[in-house]
Amino acid sequence: MRIDFIIYIIIFCLALILVQPAFSDYILMCTFFTNPVAKIFKLSDEGDISFLYSLEVGGNPESLVFSPNGHWGLIGSNTTSYPPTQKTIILGATQEREIYYLGYAHCENQNFVTISPNSKYGLFGWNLQTIIFNLKDNSFNVIPTNNPPLSLCASFSSLNNRILAIKYNKTVEEFVMLDDKTTTSTGFTVDISPSKGRWIYITPDGKTGIVLNPDKYQITTLRMHPEGGFHIVQQFDTKSGNPDQLEITDDGKFAIIVYYSNDVGKGMKSFSIGDDSCLTEVDGIDTPEGAGEDMAVTPDGKFAVTRTLNANGTSTFNVVRIYPDGKLQYLPEKDFTTTGHVSAMDFLPPYQPYPENSFVLY
């Protein structure tokens, strides 16, 4: 074997190690209702939260997502007839873990945002417009679409390169990204009634979709087919109030659900995700009254952070430890209060220096 090739491999491996931040330093970004200024916090490996800095992002932010490779992110605004709020915000992130404002795309309706597993594409708005992110120079292009404006939210599958969108008519519809990067329906739909469906999440392996509904039939699980299409596996109630947010751990083993009304049960629950796409409840814990609606899970799946909106205009972060077996432990001594009402939150994933993943979706 050539010595120069061996040296290249050694340098490559060292670069991967050196640029990865220690998981003792989680970066959490939060947006706030009716406030164009976001805040960035640090979560220690012991679960302690501390404030780092503020960032003006504009709009009226209500949703937030970062790319899996830690290079960029999207903020969805509460769109109204007021033009300054009709924005989807594009964020950048440096190798040193600093988040910054890049620009925005016009969005007339829906605060929905998502990013593809390979970190190249984003979708936003209720007609699924595309953002192409250039990983070399952090520039972006917006691709308009002619889809009917009927999608509540959507998620990418890494299994079959398809996009699943929840529609207003109690169906989940399959979309595909064309060569010109516009999205269009494949014509495949599944009726999920009596569930109305509000949020959809897909596991990292692209095989399992989970639909949340705040009313009856709160959870619907879907099984993706490698050649396209999908079918319903489960539909059931969790009997724990109204589920409002779900996070899937990066290893795809667990789904963590937080409830904004926990009068009849636990405020947070964990479910194992089976190879057959079935969910099995693992644990449930009580959280402070009013906690829920927003949640973020650390990239290594060790902590979940949710928030309580207080009557005095502040928000209190509630930290929950997630154990390797899916058990949960609320850590009340780690509660942290900040000014403003938090509207969305997400952890910045580790920065990947070589953005081309080992697979290509499109």
Q: What is the pTM of this model?
A: 0.88
- Report pLDDT digits (tens) over 250-309: 999 999 998 876 555 578 999 999 999 999 999 999 887 666 678 999 999 999 999 988
Q: Predicted confidence band at 86 (pLDDT cuts at 50, 70, 90)? A: confident
pLDDT at 61 over 50: yes
pLDDT of residue 261: 64
Query: Percent of the chain, pLDDT > 90?
Result: 63
pLDDT at 12 over 70: no
- Report pLDDT digits (tens) over 106-122: 887 778 899 999 999 99
Q: Predicted confidence band at 3 (pLDDT cuts at 50, 70, 90)? A: low
pLDDT of residue 355: 46
pLDDT of residue 288: 79
Residue with more model confidence, 292 or 144: 144
**Domains of the chain in sequence order:** 238-353 (2.130.10.10)
- Report pLDDT digits (tens) over 176-234: 999 999 999 999 999 999 888 889 999 999 999 999 988 777 899 999 999 999 999 99
Mean pLDDT of the chain: 87
Tell me what the mean pLDDT of segment 319-327 comes to.
97
pLDDT of residue 2: 54
pLDDT of residue 22: 46
pLDDT of residue 126: 84
For residue 69 the two structure tokens come to 């490779």
pLDDT of residue 317: 95
Residue 61 · residue 76 · CB < 8 Å:
yes
- Report pLDDT digits (tens) over 47-57: 999 999 999 99
